[in-house]
Structure 1
């Protein structure tokens, strides 16, 4: 299982609402750079900064941000444990992991902890701003290119035997959609692959999120692999 019990009801900022962001990174220069860019962006407000995982957990409870941008490697409580405490404690905040993806061995653990997606430290700042926006609204939560690299990481791990997850109540069409999500397909690509409308593709994704008790698309990828539904990924 990805989570214990049903996922929390996630509050998303309404149209025109300011997105409240908490930055958690032990490097002051990284926080300062992100803070400067996000604060200068209309509709985004940096409500706090944390230099450790424990501080991130405390400030999330106190400040109730919509998005926590979380580094993995921090002194004391790291970003993985902090993410687990935030998402497992019923916080509505979406956690974006800030990581050097190619070298970090903790990606799978971060997703299991409830992270909603990834920011890579060498991304251009405009892409980081865009990622904060889409996560805050509950839309596409991971860039397809990053998703495909993530899936390649999953595929290199030993296959679970037997599958540790069953897909009770999921229709055949929803299984097809779930398999495509696990291959990094966007809603638009899913619609094209299955010859259905974009609205229908979105409806299937929403149904999967509800039926499988997943917070977001990232956890749907995990479920696809745990159930044995996902095959080998296509090359990026």
Structure 2
């Protein structure tokens, strides 16, 4: 049986490496290589596919990236199995990837030969994690684990504030967009952080990315280091 595979990654060198590896593997046929979510969805719309291998952080596409894209693919193409290739090491993000239905998780630091294994396992409906990803998950941060274990529930407005803050907006900008005062926005932000046990702005970005509030490519390091005055 031939496994029809689509590959999506915005790094040309890595894309070429995967093509070189998988094009030689018996029983696997590449139906296309794309560089963003727009091209991927168009490819899946016109070609039969069994397994998609996709990067996690892949900006520029109409359908986003990260958990946003994975959820969309599960809804639009429910019979296609998903394998994620990523350099992200955040254990909460990795858990989120598996929770939305991806069957394979392969690290870019591992040998690409693990892709073949992940693809074959996914086709059978089984999960597979490369060695680096398995090791990283064993080191899951206690803060994120506590959030998941206690099933914290935020209000709609608290979630909205965290999402916009993680996207890079200031408290004042969120207030203007939401039609509420900066004082109210600040209070909702602090209330959400207290519920989740988050102590720093950097924790907000990790939480938002891990729980699919923003696209993987939207959060930036400079946001994580904004001053404490913007509360």
- Tell me which residue corresponds to 1:114: 101
Structure 1, 93-102 or 42-51: larger mean CA deviation: 93-102
Counterparts of 1:121-200 in structure 2, within 5 Å, are: 121-143=108-130, 146-153=133-140, 155-160=142-147, 163-164=150-151
**Structure 1, gaps ≥5 residues long:** 1-16, 165-236
- Tell me which residue corresponds to 1:96: 83
The answer as to whether partners of 2:85 and 2:106 remain within 8 angstroms in 1 is yes
Could you tell me how far apart the structure 2 residues matched to 1:112 and 1:145 are? 19
Length-normalised TM-score, structure 2: 0.56
CA deviations over 1:183-224 (Å, ceiling 9, x no partner): xxxxxxxxxxxxxxxxxxxxxxxxxxxxxxxxxxxxxxxxxx
Length-normalised TM-score, structure 1: 0.55
Aligned residues: 149
68 and 155 in structure 1: CA distance in 2 versus 1, 3 angstrom threshold: farther
Alignment root-mean-square deviation, CA: 2.7
Could you tell me how far apart the structure 1 residues matched to 2:54 and 2:25 are? 19
- 2:54 aligned with 1:70: yes
**Structure 2, gaps ≥5 residues long:** 152-231
Higher helix share: 2
CA deviations over 1:21-43 (Å, ceiling 9, x no partner): 10000111111110111011100
The answer as to whether partners of 2:54 and 2:84 remain within 8 angstroms in 1 is yes
Specify the structure having the higher radius of gyration (Cα): 2
Runs of 4+ displaced beyond 3 Å: 103-106, 160-164
Structure 1, 101-110 or 127-136: larger mean CA deviation: 101-110
